[in-house]
Amino acid sequence: MALQATTLEETYQEMADKLEGIVPDIELRYKAELVYEINKIKKERGAIILGHNYMEPALYHSVPDVVGDSLALSRKAAETDCDPIVFCGVRFMAETAKILNPDKTVLLPAKEAGCSLAASITAEDVRNLKQQFPGVPVITYINTYADVKAECDICCTSGNAAKVAESFDSDTIIFLPDEYLAANIADETDKKVIFPTLETIGNPKPGLDYQMIGWHGRCEVHEQFTVQDIENVRAQFPDVFVLAHPECSPEVVAASDYSGSTSRMIDVVRESENSRFLLMTECSMGDNITAENPDKKMVGLCSIRCPHMNQITLEDTLNALQNNERIIEVPEDIRIRAKRSLDRMLEIR
Ligand code: 13P
Ligand code: SF4
């Protein structure tokens, strides 16, 4: 969260108090200068910075006004009066903020910052599925681009996917594009999931009760975690509490003690009586939790960073604010339809 400091020295001190032992001092001194400049210009411009839980520790703990998971950040984007909105996250998140705020400037401090899930499906893929399964409600994970959201009935995030799925009075739903999230939500909501293949696309079999129709998208970070990873850590640390993001495989989720969105994982660690944790998610988050909960130990299994989230730096955040760079735009016809899917999701509490 944004610092209270008003001078460079105070900025460094506040960062050092929180991040000592997590970020080397020489790096902190350099980053404190960037943070000081960012917070100054943010105030001058009346901007808000939204930061996803995967931001690197020095950024996460110093410049965002709000940090959170996709759901919390979407809600904040929907209600903020500030302009511009700087999104320290990935492109689909910044696009979501733009869809909800057409008259504001939304800045993404990175050239690309994509997402393997968002890249796994196109609007045409969704149109083909709708043709194959007419009348079946389509839920799309928020990790998709605006044109895909525009083809769907409602969005969901890892924080509300089961609730959204259960909000439909329909035996069959289409749930896109994360095959692991679909399988995990199917388990949770007592459905079974199938995947349309090249043979079944365009060759519908009416009357079949598929219950949940998925897509073969995967998160390139979470698909790397294995049950063996968990077993190895449990063998060495029998007291460890394991948390897995629902983008992990159903086997990994089943072998864990808890599964939920990034913010829910943070809350569970904060509130837990356990002292040792293994996080099956992007590894910056472990450092961010440690900075806030020095008494909790994270097992350092982590060498997996999201190459897209990782593109967001303090340097580019400053550049975004100074030069109004990278402005996110969404064509108006797509924006209006995508907003319907987001609004429906935000109505579900
Ligand atoms: P959350 O909504 O749980 O923060 O997840 C977003 C994401 O991209 C996880 O990889
Ligand atoms: Fe996308 Fe996975 Fe990165 Fe999240 S961690 S932004 S789902 S690639």
Kindly list the domain boundaries of the chain, sorted by start residue.
Answer: 8-113+309-323, 118-218, 222-298
What pLDDT, on a 0 to 100 scale, did the predictor assign at position 132? 87
* SS3 label, residue 104: coil
Q: Counting atoms of ligand 1 from 1, which one is nearest the CA of 143?
A: 8
Q: Which CATH superfamily hosts domain 8-113+309-323?
A: NadA-like (3.40.50.10800)
Ligand 2 mean position, distance from CA 38 (Å): 26
What pLDDT, on a 0 to 100 scale, did the predictor assign at position 170? 87
Mean pLDDT for back-to-back runs of 10 residues, the chain (349 residues): 88 96 96 98 97 97 97 92 97 96 96 96 95 92 98 97 93 94 93 73 63 94 96 96 97 98 97 96 92 90 85 98 96 98 94
Question: Ligand 1 site: residues with CB under 6 angstroms?
Answer: 53, 69-70, 143, 157-159, 219, 245, 247, 261-262
What pLDDT, on a 0 to 100 scale, did the predictor assign at position 198? 54
State how far the alpha carbon of 299 is from the alpha carbons of 119, 243, 244, 277, 287, in Å.
31, 11, 13, 6, 11
What is the residue with the minimal CA distance to atom 1 of ligand 2? 115
Please name the fold of domain 118-218.
Rossmann fold (3.40.50)
Give the bridge partners for 259, in sequence order: 244
- CA-based nearest residue to 275, from 231, 311, 237: 237
pTM: 0.95
Q: Which ligand is nearest to the CA of 142?
A: 1
What is the residue with the minimal CA distance to atom 2 of ligand 2? 219
What pLDDT, on a 0 to 100 scale, did the predictor assign at position 349? 83
Ligand 1 mean position, distance from CA 209 (Å): 30
At how many degrees (to 10) do helices 91-100 and 70-79 cross? Answer: 30
What is the residue with the minimal CA distance to atom 6 of ligand 2? 115
Burial 100-128 (b: 16+ CB within 10 A, else e): bbeebbbbbbbeebbbbbbbbbebebbee
Domains 8-113+309-323 and 118-218 share a fold: yes
The correct CATH number of 222-298 out of 1.10.1040.10, 3.40.50.300, 2.40.70.10, 3.40.50.10800 is 3.40.50.10800
Ligand 1 mean position, distance from CA 34 (Å): 26
Residue to mutate (ligand 1; options 52, 95, 253, 305; most atoms within 8 A of CB): 52
